[in-house]
Amino acid sequence: MRTTYRTHTCGDLRAEHAGTEVTLCGWVHARRDQGGVLFLDLRDRYGLTQVTFRGDRDAALLAAAERVRPEWVVRATGLVAARPSEAVNPDRATGEIEVEAHALVVLSEAATPPIPVDEHAAVSTELRLRHRYMDLRRPALTHTVGARARIAGTVRRHLEAQGFLDIETPTLIRSTPEGARDYL
């Protein structure tokens, strides 16, 4: 999905893209500092991709990447490289590659998230409901919301094909200051 912000999504890249220059945008899912080499797992709604910053190539870029924290939104540009066989992550669709960054732009900083966006994090239901906007970023919930949208779209297309006219009643009456009242 090429846009002015990105050339690929974080779930697109595979081994056959090695040598291709790409631009990715997304949330920083995880950050690992190995002293001179920094790894950022960049996440969007399509997947995760590891982005690598090496101090021996660009110390200023590494310093900029070291400031980045989880859930910041960034744009990274670099070359897709095949990972060494011992570094391949078979649990990830993009596990055979990494992006060796040569540019990084912070699009939005974020405070430390109240709950982790991780499928395996032990977080109470009360806390998840209080911070629903963060909980909806978890892959299982994103999948559920996406499935619901696809089902609703299928039903809507079927009904339209049958000549059904969908009328939202607030378009027939004047809106009130209490917007939800229109639906009661």
Each residue's pLDDT tens digit, 32-52: 999 899 999 999 989 999 999
The conformation of residue 65, written as its DSSP 8-state character, comes to H
Question: Closest Cα to residue 27, out of 10, 43, 46, 48?
Answer: 43
CA 28 – CA 14 distance, rounded (Å): 20
What is the per-residue pLDDT for 111? 86
Per-residue pLDDT band for 59 (boundaries 50, 70, 90) equals very high
User: Where does the chain show beta strands of DSSP type E?
Assistant: 21-33, 37-44, 47-54, 73-82, 97-108
Mean pLDDT score across all residues of the chain: 88
- The fold adopted by the segment(s) 15-108 is OB fold (Dihydrolipoamide Acetyltransferase, E2P) (2.40.50)
Each residue's pLDDT tens digit, 86-105: 999 999 999 999 999 999 99
Q: How is the chain split into domains, by residue range?
A: 15-108, 113-164
Q: Is the pTM of this model over 0.85?
A: no
